[in-house]
Amino acid sequence: MFGKHIGSKLSAHLHGELPPDETRQVAEHLRDCQRCRTEYEEISFGAQMAAQLNREQAPDSLWNELESALNGNPVHRKGAVEAAATRRKSWLAIPAVQFAAVAVTLSLIGAAFWLYRRESPPEPDNRPSWEVTRLEGQPVIGEKKMDEKGRLAVGEWLATDASSRAQISVGQIGEVKIEPNSRVRLVTANGDEHRLGMTHGKMEAFIWAPPRQFFVETPSALAVDLGCSYTLEINGDGVGLLHVTLGWVAFESQGLESFVPAGAMCVTRPQLGPGTPYFNDASVDFQNALAKFDTAGTDHTVRSAALDAVLIQARKRDALTLWHLLARTVENERGRVYDRLAELIPPPPKVRRKGVLNGDRTMLDAWWDSLELGDTEWWRMWKGPLPTQTK
Ligand SMILES: [Zn+2]
């Protein structure tokens, strides 16, 4: 069914060394073949860990300084802040450098102003754009009905009606199918930042680039690709539903973060931001109770009853949901979540009730790491080294 396996091409694929048509074939094979996908994940995990080791070495000491500063240790705080300040300022302390910096800044402002006056508005043809393929009906780019192929430039909208669909090539890193009744804008098309905005409709994204290169802005949260395939649907009220089919996606807004693995879903709501993620196969009662909790606001009675219903019905696998609830609960609510999660997945050594109730990040990370939610390799890869691992 899948033709030949592609083990020999995986390393070249990971390093972006394949020509575009082959990249696409490999990506499609990866989407459909579990065996090659597992192999690819192992290879990219190794590569990522090696890269992380190099990247993390320098900031390590700085991180420790910051951490003790945050922990309120007055002696270290002074030292840390001074050390950081010295590091940043030392080269600026020389008057000649300061003068040069000011001169460069001024000339940049001047140049920017001149460019703005001369070239605003920008020529549409000079804008970066992505290829769009018509799949059905007559999708519209800007004001124009599109032919078989078209280009979506930065700042332009692609719209589909009830009977049209289109496919957008996300630079060289993936593709996004736009389903009927959707409205999508190309926000950014840089080498390492690919960003769409969607006001309503449905898209199916498949991205084969390293994580954090593809973003979708929705009315109430930012979807950050962490190496994966997913669908994202936004209804007329701006409520979004994310459904991950491969890898991980993060939903971010207003300081809330939801990490959604394959097989899980997450709702995002205007004003409220990303809800608590849950697995598709959780019971309907569990899902309903969770939605009640997420939307209860300050109604303490509703909130408390909904939380109890979630906790009672939680299976071991629903640790995904319970762990996220630790960051979305307060005081005795959080204690109840802690106790139920501890029954399902006993906390690893050094993770203490009191610490978790105080929001201790190290303990939360350590517990998350022990949840074994399936693709934990993906999680470790993209979240970066956990404090417990770097000892
Ligand atoms: Zn294969």
DSSP letters, 278-347, are EETTS-HHHHHHHHHHHH-TT-HHHHHHHHHHHHHH--GGGHHHHHHHHTS--HHHHHHHHHHHHHHSPP
14: left (phi over 0), alpha (psi -120 to 50) or beta: alpha
Q: Are residues 130 and 271 in the same domain?
A: yes
> Between these two residues, 126 and 119, which has the higher pLDDT value?
126
User: Which pLDDT score, from 0 to 100, does residue 78 have?
Assistant: 36
Q: Are residues 130 and 182 in the same domain?
A: yes
What range does the domain containing 75 cover?
Answer: 60-119
Q: Are residues 287 and 193 in the same domain?
A: no
Q: In angstroms, what is the span from residue 214 Cα to ligand 1's centroid?
A: 25
Distance from C-alpha of 16 to C-alpha of 30, rounded to nearest angstrom: 15
Q: In angstroms, what is the span from residue 53 Cα to ligand 1's centroid?
A: 30
For range 128-145, the mean pLDDT: 96
> Is residue 89, in this structure, part of any structural domain at all?
yes
**Number of domain units in the chain:** 4
> Is residue 334, in this structure, part of any structural domain at all?
yes
Q: In angstroms, what is the span from residue 366 Cα to ligand 1's centroid?
A: 34
Total Cβ atoms within 10 A of residue 311: 23
Q: Are residues 164 and 69 in the same domain?
A: no
Distance from C-alpha of 152 to C-alpha of 188, rounded to nearest angstrom: 11
| Token code pair at residue 349 | 């050594």
> Is residue 359, in this structure, part of any structural domain at all?
yes
> Is residue 258, in this structure, part of any structural domain at all?
yes
CATH number (domain holding residue 144)? 2.60.120.1440
- Could you give the residue ranges of the DSSP H alpha helices within the chain? 10-14, 20-32, 34-57, 59-70, 74-89, 95-119, 284-295, 300-313, 319-326, 331-344, 353-357, 361-369, 376-383
Q: What is the mean pLDDT of the chain?
A: 79
> Is residue 189, in this structure, part of any structural domain at all?
yes
Q: In angstroms, what is the span from residue 384 Cα to ligand 1's centroid?
A: 28
Q: Are residues 211 and 164 in the same domain?
A: yes
User: Which pLDDT score, from 0 to 100, does residue 74 have?
Assistant: 37
Q: Are residues 137 and 271 in the same domain?
A: yes
With contact defined as beta carbons under 8 Å apart, do 353 and 324 qualify? no
Highest-confidence segment of 58-72, 200-214, 300-314: 300-314
User: Which pLDDT score, from 0 to 100, does residue 107 have?
Assistant: 55
> By CB neighbour count within 10 A (0-12 exposed, 13-18 middle, 19+ buried), where does 158 fall?
buried
Share of the chain above pLDDT 70, in %: 73
Q: In angstroms, what is the span from residue 32 Cα to ligand 1's centroid?
A: 8
Give the confidence band of 110 by pLDDT, cuts at 50, 70, 90: very low
> Is residue 93, in this structure, part of any structural domain at all?
yes
Q: In angstroms, what is the span from residue 91 Cα to ligand 1's centroid?
A: 53
Q: Are residues 214 and 294 in the same domain?
A: no
Q: Are residues 286 and 360 in the same domain?
A: yes
Q: Are residues 132 and 38 in the same domain?
A: no
Q: Which amino acid is at 286?
A: F
pLDDT for 45-59, tens place per residue?
666 555 544 443 434
> Is residue 2, in this structure, part of any structural domain at all?
no
Q: Are residues 166 and 114 in the same domain?
A: no
Cα angle 78, 79, 83; round to 5: 120
User: Which pLDDT score, from 0 to 100, does residue 47 have?
Assistant: 64
Beta-bridge partner residues of 259? 250
3-state SS, residue 57: helix
DSSP letters, 194-211, are EEEEEEEEEEEEEE-SPS
> Is residue 138, in this structure, part of any structural domain at all?
yes
Q: Are residues 208 and 226 in the same domain?
A: yes
Asked which of 261-265, 362-366, 380-384 is least confident by mean pLDDT, the reply is 380-384
Q: Are residues 53 and 65 in the same domain?
A: no
Give the confidence band of 72 by pLDDT, cuts at 50, 70, 90: very low
Q: In angstroms, what is the span from residue 37 Cα to ligand 1's centroid?
A: 7
pTM given for the model: 0.67
Domain boundary pick from 74, 90, 119:
119
